[in-house]
Structure 1
Amino acid sequence: MTGSGAAAEQTINLPLGSMSVDTLQVIQLSIFAGVMGAALLSAIWLIRQRARISAENAELRTRVGELSGALSRSEALLNLKDQRVVVWPGDGGRPSVAGELPGETGAPRERSTFLAFGRWLMPKSASALDRAAEALREKGTGFDLVAETRAGVLIEVQGRKSALHAVIRFSSLSAAQAEHARLKLKHERLHADHENILGLVNALNMPFWLRDEAGKLKWVNAAYARSVEAEGADAAVREGHELLPTPARATLIQHHQQEPVFREALSTVVGGDRRLFMVTDVAGRNGSAGLALDTSELDGLRREYESTVQSHADTLDQLTTAVAIFDAEQKLKFHNQAFQKLWGLDAAFLDGGPENALLLDRLRSEGKLAEQPEWRRWKEQLLSAYRAVEPQEHWWHLPDGRTIRVIANPQPKGGVTWVFENLTEKIDLESRYNAAVQVQSETLDNLAEGVAVFGADGRLRLSNPAFRTLWGIPKELIESDTHISVLKAACDAVARQSPWDTFVAAATGFDDERRDSNGRIELTTGTILHYAIVHLPNGQVMMTFVDVTDSVNVERALKEKNEALEKADKLKNDFVQHVSYELRSPLTNIIGFTELLALETTGPLSQRQREYVDHIGSSSSLLLTVVNDILDLATVDAGIMELEIGEVEIRPTVKAAADLVAERLREHDITLNVDVDEAPIAFHADENRIRQILYNLLSNAANYAPEKGKITLTARQSGNGVEFRVHDDGPGISPEVLATIFRRFEPSSKGGRRRGAGLGLSIVKSFVELHGGEVEIDTGKGRGTAVICRFPRAPSGVRAAAE
């Protein structure tokens, strides 16, 4: 080993020229050479790579420049004022909007408003665009639409989808494009309408056909095919099946040479039966269209109806009761002979079909109807039968003494059948019979004598209240068919020595000789009765009882009653005077002290104290008004009120009443219109009571008039008097409230702002009637309420008080 290493060392250390290199130097030299070679190779690679990168950078800079230019051009195109683009990213993000549409299109500039297509597009266009946009984004289905804006401008809408975006472009159209688009829309609408009309016609159960210029069938509906027994509509057209016979078609063609519209009833055979059709055929420049309505059943019904009507007319002509039938237009369509005979009218006049109102006016002008206080209202009420549902009944008392029962029976189609039944003789007989019965009944019921009639079987047939009262008989025993033995048992205990055995024997005895008798009875109450037994025909017996107790008792009773009435009258007068002092004086003091408390000189008040003082004052004034109203009514009822009649100037009086309610009207913003132009300057009345009447009417109207409503006060000449009318535009008065409107202490707050004592209109009515006038209320739903007071202008006499 050592020798070998030495030999090797010797081999390595061989001289190389003039130099000697050891092993370490060789390694270092090799490494250096390798590093230098790698560096050289790296430098060469880097130089080549740098050149390639520089070339790529130059190419990329050129591409970026081109893309920037393209982007600028695209932005310039997108921002044109004749188009707008909406882009949805593929990841479902928010859409971006670019560009702008012309202002005349009505498209909004705001992004959110623009994307709400329903706000600026017509509903049909917006709906179609929403569906197309949804299909574009979800399925990638492109579309081309023409949409119409709410401004009536047409725009083109295109939708396309790429790999990453969904784009919708809105662009305005040129004049030619717009006209083309408008024609396209019109064509689509006409096509849709055509399809709808054909679908409707095909569903009709009436034959329908279309013909070309040569008169050949080109389309028929299913009903036509069934009528001609074809397999279908196409087969009927292809095989030329005709619904109408040849003569009918010839007539139709000849008619079209004169007029374009043919409308006539034609007959043809359908299914082996002769049928009648109402054919309507319209001819145009490019053909014609026809429709046939089967009227066979209708024609049969018409003939049957005419036969029935004629039969009824013949029957009604035989009646003695007058009958007249008017149609929905209130014209006379039928009358029987009894109607003409009843009124004695010309046959020519009746055959002319006069209106019901004209017929009534003629009957009035000829004096065949009784004069009515308000003819127009009476006639309108009578003719209201044409708007009624149930029959109406009227009674007419004619000037010639006849009594007619009139029945107005509304017809289903709007007419009215009038039946006039002459009941003069029947009513005369009934009235005489009823008068006799009434006289007999009233006579018996009002007799002081007790009367009882018994039949041959001893049962009670007739009695009056005096009989039951004199004997104190229970009411349930005074029933028909009560036997005399039952009455005897009830009356024996009342009489000291009962004569009822004699009464029973007279009523139930079989004696051949029937003798009348009489006598006296003293009752346990001290009453003395005089009785009489009178035998009547048919075995009946009448018994009468007369109270003959000392007349002094009667006189004493009358005197006591008179004294009681005088005391009641005195009590009423004392009550009025006492209440007038006891209620008015404290209320006046309360109002006075309240006004003193409200004065600043009395002392400072807090806000709440001032509100309390105001409430006390208003409540006291309201209570004083109620007390005054009650006292006025009590004075009227007592008959001690006297009117101070003098000359009343209308304008100042109306102004004074209006001033009293002015604050209340301002509170609710109610307008008061006063019209006295047609009124006289003055009339004779009690000025204070007239002012009180107008104040109550205006207060009542202010209570029911709506906020910002209107009240109208009108005064005018009315015949020989003066009329005041107060109208409000409130809800009106219902019929149930109107029936009790003048009753005292029955206020109605329905529709009003506050509930009062219910005396306002009662006082108005009392004071108006004291002046010899009258009050009328005109009201109705939707037309408010008007209270009308009429006064005589110069009354000859005035009642001092109401009775």
Structure 2
Amino acid sequence: MARRHWRRCGAALSVRARRAAVCAGLLTTLLAAGGVADAVGATSGEADGAVDGFALRYTPRSAIVLTGFAGLAVAFALAAAALARERARGRMATTALLRELNDLRARHDRHVTLIASDPQVIVSWPGRDSEPVIEGDAGIAVPGQSARRVLAFGAWLAPSHAQALDAALDALKNGGERFHLGVRALDGRYFEADGRAISGQAVFRLREMTTDRQELARARDSLTAARGDLAALRTMLDAMAQPIWLRDREGALIWANLAYAAAVGAADGAEVVARQVELLDEDARRAVRTRIAEGAIYTGRVTTAAGGTRLSLEIVESPGGSGAAGTASDVTALEEARADLERLREAHARTLDKLPTAVAIFDADKRLVFHNAAYRRLWALDADFLETVPGDGDILERLRGERKLPEQADFRAWKRELFAAYGASAPQDHWWYLPDGRTLRVAITPNPQGGVTYVFDDATERFTLESRYNALMRIQGETLDSLREGVAVFGSDGGLTLSNPAFSELWELDDSLIASRPHVDAIAGHCAARSTDAAVWRDIRMAVAGLHDARTAHTFRVVRKDGATLDCATAPLPDGSTLLTVTDMTASVNVERALTERNEALEKASRIRDDFVHHVSYELRSPLTSAIGFAQLLAEETVGPLNAKQREYADHITRSSESLLALINDILDLASIDNGGVEMNMGDVDVAEAVAGAIRGIEDRLAEKAVRLRVDVPVDIGVFIGDARRVRQVLYNLLSNAVNASPEGGTIVVGAVRGGEDIRISVADDGPGMAPGEAERLFSRAQAATGMRLSVGVGLSLVGSFVELHGGRVEVESVPGQGTRIVCIFPLARAQDKAGEAGEAAA
């Protein structure tokens, strides 16, 4: 209606416009005519009169113009009247149109209010390919988005609902098919979608359901999903190998799967329910009912017979809203495997307990679940503490407190790194250097069921042996390289495996030849060319290659062409190798030759000296004996009386002769000792008697120098096995030396002490004493050249030699200015052994 009204108004306006155009044309014509009149007046001359201020000149032609102008005026008046009438009609039509427009607006507002009263969206399509017109609250579908987004169903509806709605709209727009759907948005809200054809247009309305209807829709969807899930679940449960069943509140079976039916010998679950065939015996069912009545889940293991086979079943039955559901798992194989595993675990535990390697197993919670005896011994842990199942961290903290773990700058970080093995997939190795010097190799292996296994291998001895071996090999290598003797080792195949630089230098071997590990044939050929006797290298080659009947050591003397003399020795090694050593004996041979010549000369000189000493001694002893005899005859006054002066001279001659005789005897004894010709007459030596005999020999000299003698020898000191004459000679020489060293009026002390294993006889004087260097040379024969009298040096030399022949030793204690004390120590043990041997021989 409104459109028809607007079409009528447009037609009227068109008529009016045409009329106005006609009037405008007439007016233009009139104005043009007035111009012409002006022009004509200007050319024809002036006329009387004026019109509206214009001077007009009338001419005959002007009259014609004025007549036309009057006609135009009449026409203009008629047009104006017509225009006024059209204006009146237009105002009336405009008023009608405004009234109709206001009515349309009111109706539109009422429609908008009606649409807005309920949250909904109305979409219409005037044509199949036209753009949709969207009215209503588009925000109910996609808040905050443009109105066109409401038609993008895939962006805010559930995928299946979006597809269904798109298909319904296509059917509506293409075929006018009406639809009514309930759809669900992605946020869970539900909407009603209506579509129908109205006046040739496709109209689609979408509005949100009320709360009650939304709840109903949700319940319907949940029920549909639950039915589908239940059907799928039952299908799945029927395909499972474990028996599964459902019971009602009274405990009766209401459903069972195919595995349950097969276990009890039924065709299907329906037969099980119909016959109420039970898988469990009465005791098991009673226990299940008691547990279910308490609202708890029953879990237990029962043994039953199914299909003629004894089975172990793991039963789990849990209460539900309308009854209970149960399942049974065949754990027969598991039980058998568990029993086998338990037996295997016990066998492994017994085996591990006997191992010297420490083993500890921790579970996934880092708790100790197994340890062997070596582990307890390694860390010295109490069995009571380990029985409490301590954690890995607790054990580490305890060992750290006892200072048994390696020292760490950051113990927590070290422990975290250690515990990383619990989540690792590969074993880890650590080296622990303990404060007590031990070295442990710690292998941490993750267990498949969780936790780790620690294996502590005490590598201290291996490290020590390895370090010693390496050090020994280095020392041996450096020793071989530094040896002046040539060393070469040939393998069991005859190839050179080891040599030192001296070997190469002795035989002028190139480094390239040594590096090529040559065969013994090449070495023998090279060395034979440089030797005076090439045949000896044939024997050396046979000894190295093991061609002899027996692998034994051999020695060879090789002379090089340059005159060098070498000693070669071969020795078999345990691994089948052969050691060849080459020693340069040139200098030794030369020295040996010189020493041999010198020794022969010395032996010859010694024989000459001994002959001379014996000859001189004999020549001196004979006249000396005669002089002593004649002096004794004079002293005894057998040829006549002597005056005092003559008697004094005779005594001096006797003492001097005896001293000279003692000196000669000492020289002979020294010569005999040097030649090894001293004979010892062993027997009982009475210490006190030997001391007394030696004192009697020096009484005259004591009186001559007014020297006092103090004897500190126990009477019961006993005896020891020795040469009595040599012992008295030792004491006589010590006393003579003491008399010579003592000043006028001095004192000599003779002492003897019997110890546990020896007898000590000492002679002390209060003479000037000696410096330490002089005391060390006191018993050396070289001291005769120091300015002391020859008799003293010879006598003390005899003292040292005779005491050593008895198996004893001599000690000297001398302080300058305080005198000298000489101690002769004779061993009792040797004397007792001699006495025992003598007793056995006598027996």
Q: What is the TM-score when the length of structure 2 is the normalising length? A: 0.48
Q: What does residue 670 of structure 1 align with?
A: none
Moved more, 459-468 or 212-221: 459-468
Aligned to 1:257: 293
Deviation at 1:302, TM superposition (A): 1.7
Pairing 1:473–2:488 present: no
Q: Is the Cα contact below 8 Å between 2:242 and 2:259 reproduced in 1?
A: yes
- Alignment partner, residue 119 of structure 2: 82
One-letter code of the match for 2:363? D
Flag the 1:544–1:174 CA change in 2: closer, same or farther, 3 A: same
What residue is the counterpart of 1:65 in the other structure?
Answer: none
Q: 2:359 aligns with which of 323, 326, 330?
A: 323
Residue deviations 1:512-534 (CA, integer Å, cap 9, x gap): 99656476776xxxxx9885534
Q: How does 1:644-793 map to 2 (within 5 A)?
A: none
- State whether structure 2 residue 251 is matched by structure 1 residue 212: no
Aligned to 1:270: 306
CA contact (8 A) 1:268 1:274 kept: yes
Name which of structure 1's ranges 534-543 and 310-319 shifts more when overlaid on structure 2. 534-543
Deviation, 1:311, is: 1.4
Cα 1:278/1:109, change in 2 over 3 Å: same
Shift of 1:346: 0.4
Residue 381 to residue 226, structure 1, CA distance change in 2 (3 Å) = same
CA contact (8 A) 1:449 1:547 kept: no
Matched residue, 2:522: 486
Give the AA of the match of 1:83.
Q
Tell me by how many angstroms 1:536 deviates.
4.6
Report if aligned partners of 2:247, 2:255 keep a CA contact under 8 Å in 1.
Answer: yes
**Cα distance in 2 between the residues matched to 1:167 and 1:230:** 61
Contact 1:262 1:281 in 2 (8 A): yes
Which residue identity is paired with 2:190?
Answer: L
Q: For 2:336, which of 281, 291, 300 is the aligned residue?
A: 300
Aligned ranges for residues 16-95 of structure 1 at < 5 Å?
Answer: 81-87=118-124, 92-94=128-130
The yes-or-no answer on 1:542 pairing with 2:581 is yes
Contact 2:142 2:150 in 1 (8 A): no
Structure 1 residue 312 displacement after superposition: 0.9
Aligned equivalent of 1:533: 568
From the superposition, tell whether residues 77 and 379 of structure 1 become closer, same or farther in structure 2 (CA, over 3 Å): closer
Q: CA deviation at 1:542?
A: 1.0
| Structure-2 change in CA distance of 1:498 and 1:457 (3 Å) | farther
Taking the aligned partners of 1:133 and 1:546, their CA distance within structure 2 comes to 122
**Alignment partners' CA distance in 1, 2:240 and 2:199:** 52
The alignment partner of 2:327 has SS state of strand
- For 2:287 and 2:268, locate their aligned partners in 1 and report how far apart those are by CA, in whole Å: 27
Cα distance in 2, alignment partners of residues 113 and 475 from structure 1: 93
The 5-angstrom pairing of residues 513-532 of structure 1 reads 517=557, 532=567
Distance of aligned partners of 1:159 and 1:226 in 2 relative to their CA distance in 1, 3 Å threshold: farther
For 2:136 and 2:352, how far apart are their aligned partners in 1? 84
Distance 1:84 1:424, change over 3 A: closer
Which residues of 2 match residues 616-635 of structure 1 at below 5 A? Answer: none
| Superimposed CA distance per residue, residues 605-624 of structure 1 (whole angstroms, 9 cap, x where no aligned partner) | xxxxxxxxxxxxxxxxxxxx
2:193 aligned partner, one-letter code: V
Taking a change above 3 Å as real, the CA distance of residues 172 and 334 of structure 1, as seen in their structure-2 partners, is closer
CA displacement at 1:210 relative to structure 2: 2.5
Contact 1:100–1:109 at 8 Å: present in 2 too? no
Paired with 2:470 and 2:282, the residues of 1 have a C-alpha distance of 78
Which one of 191, 197, 213 corresponds to residue 155 of structure 1?
191
Determine helix, strand or coil for the equivalent of 1:345: coil
Counterparts in 2 of 1:228 and 1:478: CA distance versus 1, 3 Å: same
Tell me how far 1:309 sits from its aligned partner.
Answer: 0.7
**Aligned with 1:206: secondary structure?**
coil
* Distance in 2 (alpha carbons) for counterparts of 1:108 and 1:402: 76
Worse-matched range after superposition: 335-344 or 101-110: 101-110
1:282 equivalent in alignment to 2:321: no
Asked if the contact 1:281/1:291 (under 8 Å) is kept, the reply is: yes
Q: Is the 2:553–2:569 contact (alpha carbons within 8 Å) kept by the matching residues of 1?
A: no
Task: Choose the corresponding residue for 1:246, options 282, 294, 318.
Answer: 282
RMSD over equivalenced CA pairs, Å: 4.5
Partner of 2:148: 112
In the alignment, the residues of structure 2 paired with residue 411 and residue 425 of structure 1 have an alpha-carbon distance, to the nearest angstrom, of: 29
Compared CA separation, residues 519 and 492, structure 1 to 2 (3 A): closer
Aligned pair 1:416/2:455, yes or no? no
1 CA distance for matches of 2:314 and 2:133? 62
Contact 2:528 2:537 in 1 (8 A): no
CA contact (8 A) 1:107 1:149 kept: no
Structure 1 partner of 2:210 = 174
Aligned counterpart for 2:166 among listed residues 127, 130, 141:
130
Are 2:384 and 1:348 aligned?
yes
Give 1:136 shift. 5.9
Deviation at 1:135, TM superposition (A): 6.1
Q: Distance in 1 between matches of 2:493 and 2:309?
A: 80
Whole-angstrom CA distance in 1 between matches of 2:398 and 2:429: 22
| More displaced stretch, 498-507 vs 251-260 | 498-507
Q: In 2, distance between residues paired with 1:268 and 1:131?
A: 59
Deviation at 1:488, TM superposition (A): 4.2
Contact 1:407 1:418 (8 Å CA) reproduced: yes
Partner Cα distance (1:455, 1:287) in 2? 89
Q: Aligned in 2, Cα 1:278/1:135: closer, same or farther, shift over 3 Å? A: farther
Q: Distance in 2 between matches of 1:199 and 1:513?
A: 92
- What corresponds to 2:345 in structure 1? 309
CA distance in 1, matches of 2:148, 2:572: 111
- 1:339 offset after TM fit, Å? 1.9
- Going from structure 1 to structure 2, the CA distance change for 1:174 and 1:358 (only over 3 Å counts) comes to closer
Amino acid at match of 1:293: S
Distance across 2 between alignment mates of 1:161 and 1:350: 87
Q: Distance in 2 between matches of 1:394 and 1:489?
A: 55
* Deviation string, structure 1 residues 249-293 (Cα, Å, up to 9, x no partner): 222222222224323233433322233333332324432222333
Could you tell me which residue of structure 2 aligns to residue 229 of structure 1?
265
Q: Distance in 2 between matches of 1:134 and 1:469?
A: 109
Change (3 A) 1:368 1:80: closer
The correspondence of residues 357-372 of structure 1 with structure 2, limited to 5 A, is 357-372=393-408
Task: Return the offset for 1:334.
Answer: 0.9
1:330 CA drift (Å) = 2.7
Task: Report what 1:144 is aligned to.
Answer: 180
Gaps of 5+ in 1: 1-67, 523-527, 549-803
C-alpha deviation, 1:541, in angstroms: 3.7
Give the secondary-structure state (helix, strand or coil) at the position aligned to 1:114: helix
SS in 2 for 1:205: coil
Q: What is the deviation of 1:117?
A: 0.8
Structure 2 letter corresponding to 1:158: D
Q: 1:452 aligns with which of 481, 488, 495?
A: 488
| Greater gyration radius | 2
The aligned counterpart of 1:557 is: none
Which of the pair is proportionally richer in helix? Answer: 2
Residues 297/186 of structure 1: CA separation in 2 closer, same or farther (3 Å cut): same
CA distance, structure 1, for counterparts of residue 585 and residue 124 of structure 2 = 119
Offset at residue 361 of structure 1 (A): 3.0
- Determine if contact 2:120/2:207 at 8 Å carries over to the other structure: yes
Q: Classify 1:469/1:412 alpha carbon distance in 2 versus 1 (closer, same or farther; 3 Å).
A: farther
- Quick one: structure 1 residues 142 and 273, their matched pair in 2 at CA, closer, same or farther if it must change by over 3 Å? farther
Aligned residues: 474
SS of equivalent to 2:298: strand
Shift of 1:333: 1.3
